[in-house]
C-alpha cells in the first residue's frame, strides 16, 4: 500500500491502477466503522483509495478541529489491513493553497438537524467531498449511514452535479451495547461512556413504538426522548425525519428516520435508525 500526500502523486498512482476504483473519504482516527467501509469497497472494486484529511472547512468550532485525533501511522496500518491500496493524506495547504472562493452547498437538505445546529458544516463537507471526487475520480464512493444527513447531501450533490460515481451506503457499525462507533467516543470518560448508550436506546425505543403502530411523532419524541433526560446529557435534537427530504416528520409512517444528537460534556454524538416501510 502507498501513502500519497500530494494531489499530483495520487493522480499518478491512480493512472496506473485498475478500475473500478472504490473511494472511502475519512478524517482519520480510523475505527471498525471505517474498516467496514474499506471492506465493502474492497469487495466491489479493484483499487481501494482511502483519504485521510481533517477538513478545516467543516468544523464550526476551532477547538474541535484542533482536538481532532491525528494518527496517520496507525490509520494507514488499519487501512492496509482492511484492503486499501492507496491512502491519500494531504496537508491543509495542499487542499486549500489559498482562501477558497468556490463552495458547494446543498441548502435543500441542510435546514434542520445537524445543518441547523452546525452552521456551515455541510457546506464544508460538500465542498471537500466534491474536491476529493475531482482528485480521485472514483467509480464508487462509500459513506456510512451513521451520518444520515451527510449521506443525503452527498447523494443529492452527486445527482445535481452529474458526478459519474455510485454512492454506496454502509450500515452503522455499533459497540455490543448499541453505541455507534465514532472517532469522538475515545474522548468520553468512563462515566460518560456508560451514559452515551442512552442515545441508541432512545432511538431503539422510538423504533419499537413505530413498530407497534404509533404514528404520532410528538408522542414518540416524548416517550423515547425521556431516556435522554439525564443531567449529564444535553439534547441537541431528537426527532423524526423524512429520509428523502431531511425535513422533520409529524407522522411516523415508515419509511421514517429517527435522528438524535446529544452532547455529553464536551463531546457531541449523533446517531439514527431507519424504520423501513
155 in active site:
no
Q: Do residues 66 and 92 make contact, with C-beta atoms less than 8 angstroms apart?
A: no
CB of 277 to ligand PAJ, least distance (A): 23
Residues contacting residue 101 through CB under 8 Å, at least 6 positions apart = none
Q: Please say whether the beta carbons of 224 and 240 come within 8 A.
A: no
Per-residue cell: 85? 491500496
* CA 164/CA 161 separation, integer angstroms: 9
The CB-of-32 to ligand PAJ minimum distance in angstroms stands at 7
Q: How far is the CB of 70 from ligand PAJ (least distance, A)?
A: 12
Q: What is the DSSP letter of 215?
A: -
Residue 58 CB, shortest distance to ligand PAJ, in Å, is 6
Q: 83, 39 in Cβ contact below 8 A?
A: yes
Cβ closer to ligand PAJ: 169 or 215? 169
Residues 6+ apart with CB under 8 A from 189: 265
Chain residues in the site for ligand PAJ (CB under 6 A): 25-27, 33-34, 36-37, 55, 58, 125, 128-129, 143-144, 146-147, 150, 170, 172-173, 180-183
* Least distance to ligand PAJ, CB of residue 54, Å: 8
CB closer to ligand PAJ, 47 vs 183: 183
- If the CB atoms of residues 16 and 276 are measured against ligand PAJ, the closer one turns out to be 276
Crossing angle (nearest 10°) for helices 121-136 and 7-15:
50
Per annotation, catalytic residue among 34, 112, 134, 155: 34
For ligand PAJ, which is the closer residue by CB, 122 or 220? 122
Q: Quick one: 25 or 138, whose CB is closer to ligand PAJ?
A: 25
Tallying the residues shown for the chain, one arrives at 277
Residue closest to ligand PAJ when measured from CB atoms: 144
Alpha helix positions (H), the chain: 7-15, 32-44, 62-67, 72-81, 92-95, 114-117, 121-136, 148-160, 190-196, 198-211, 217-225
Contact 157, 132 (CB under 8 A): no
Kindly list the catalytic residues: 34
Amino acid at each position: 500500500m502507498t501513502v500519497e500526500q500530494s494531489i499530483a502523486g495520487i493522480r499518478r498512482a491512480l493512472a496506473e491502477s485498475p478500475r473500478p476504483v472504490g473511494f472511502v473519504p475519512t478524517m482519520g482516527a480510523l475505527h471498525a466503522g471505517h474498516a467496514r467501509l474499506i471492506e465493502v469497497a474492497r469487495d466491489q472494486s479493484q483499487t481501494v483509495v482511502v483519504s485521510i484529511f481533517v477538513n478545516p472547512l467543516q468544523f464550526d468550532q476551532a477547538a474541535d478541529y484542533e482536538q481532532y485525533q491525528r494518527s496517520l501511522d496507525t490509520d494507514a496500518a488499519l487501512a492496509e489491513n482492511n484492503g486499501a491500496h492507496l491512502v491519500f493524506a494531504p496537508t491543509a495547504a495542499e487542499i486549500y493553497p489559498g482562501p477558497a472562493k468556490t463552495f458547494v452547498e446543498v441548502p435543500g437538505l441542510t435546514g434542520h438537524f445537524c445543518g441547523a445546529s452546525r452552521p456551515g458544516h455541510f457546506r464544508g463537507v460538500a465542498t471537500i467531498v466534491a474536491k476529493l471526487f475531482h482528485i480521485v475520480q472514483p467509480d464508487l464512493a462509500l459513506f456510512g449511514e451513521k451520518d444520515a444527513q451527510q449521506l443525503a447531501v452527498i447523494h443529492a450533490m452527486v445527482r445535481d452535479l452529474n458526478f459519474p460515481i455510485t454512492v454506496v451506503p454502509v450500515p452503522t457499525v455499533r459497540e455490543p451495547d448499541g453505541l455507534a462507533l465514532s472517532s469522538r467516543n475515545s474522548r468520553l470518560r468512563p462515566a460518560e461512556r456508560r451514559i452515551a448508550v442512552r442515545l441508541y436506546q432512545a432511538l431503539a425505543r422510538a423504533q419499537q413504538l413505530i413498530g407497534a403502530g404509533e404514528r404520532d411523532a410528538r408522542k414518540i419524541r416524548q416517550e423515547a426522548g425521556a431516556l435522554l433526560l439525564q443531567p449529564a446529557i444535553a439534547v441537541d435534537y431528537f426527532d423524526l425525519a423524512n429520509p428523502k427530504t431531511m425535513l422533520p416528520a409529524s407522522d411516523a409512517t415508515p419509511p421514517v428516520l429517527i435522528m438524535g444528537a446529544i452532547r455529553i460534556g464536551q463531546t457531541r454524538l449523533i446517531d439514527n435508525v431507519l424504520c423501513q416501510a
